[in-house]
Amino acid sequence: MKKLLRTLILCLTAAALSAGAICPAAAEAEDPEGQAVIDLDLSRMSGTIVYSQVYNMLYDPEPWLGRIIRMAGYYNYYDDQEHGTVYHACIIPDATACCVQGIEFVLAGEHTWPEDYPEIGADILVTGRLEEYEESGVIYLHLVDAEMTVEKQEE
């Protein structure tokens, strides 16, 4: 059973890595309506593949920097009161929801927190350009010039 599980994980990781090898080669262009073309749409992938792909992006961001990424997950934030900064993130659980990956995002334009943001745990769809930044000597990734939509909950 362990061999089967290990083989499945290796296959899924290989699929995610090969998807990553193909997607960055896409040229960034605009569609007829003037919208940026999405280089990687994680919102249409299964939980395990998304988790693997986000891990890959965090581990080796270079091929993804400057690319337009779309992701679906749930909203969360961290209020760093020591530095007076609020960080917003799209959190993506794996297929079993035991592990999560997330990517910070910065919305385009002027926004006020908490008024312009959803409640913690709200399902969101975020699209933005992946960039890195340094803070206190540590390199972080985030989606900049991001657009966020809150997915309507089924009742």
The first and second tokens of residue 43, run together, are 């919102």
Bridge partner list, 85: 80
Q: In sequence order, what DSSP letters do the residues of the chain get, joined into one string?
A: -HHHHHHHHHHHHHHHHHHHHHGGGSPP-B-TTSPBPPSEEGGGS-HHHHHHHHHHHHHS-GGGTT-EEEEEEEEEEEEETTTTEEEEEEEEE-TTSS-EEEEEEEESS---TTTTS--TT-EEEEEEEEEEEEETTEEEEEEEEEEEEEPPPP-
CA-CA distances (angstroms) from residue 12 to 16, 34, 69, 73? 6, 34, 20, 20
The first and second tokens of residue 142, run together, are 């985030």
Structural domains of the chain, ranges and CATH numbers in brackets: 2-150 (2.40.50)
* Per-residue confidence in pLDDT tens, the chain, 155 aa: 444 334 334 343 444 444 444 343 333 444 545 566 899 999 888 777 888 888 889 899 999 999 999 999 999 999 999 888 999 999 988 777 787 888 999 999 999 889 999 999 999 999 999 999 999 899 999 999 999 999 876 55
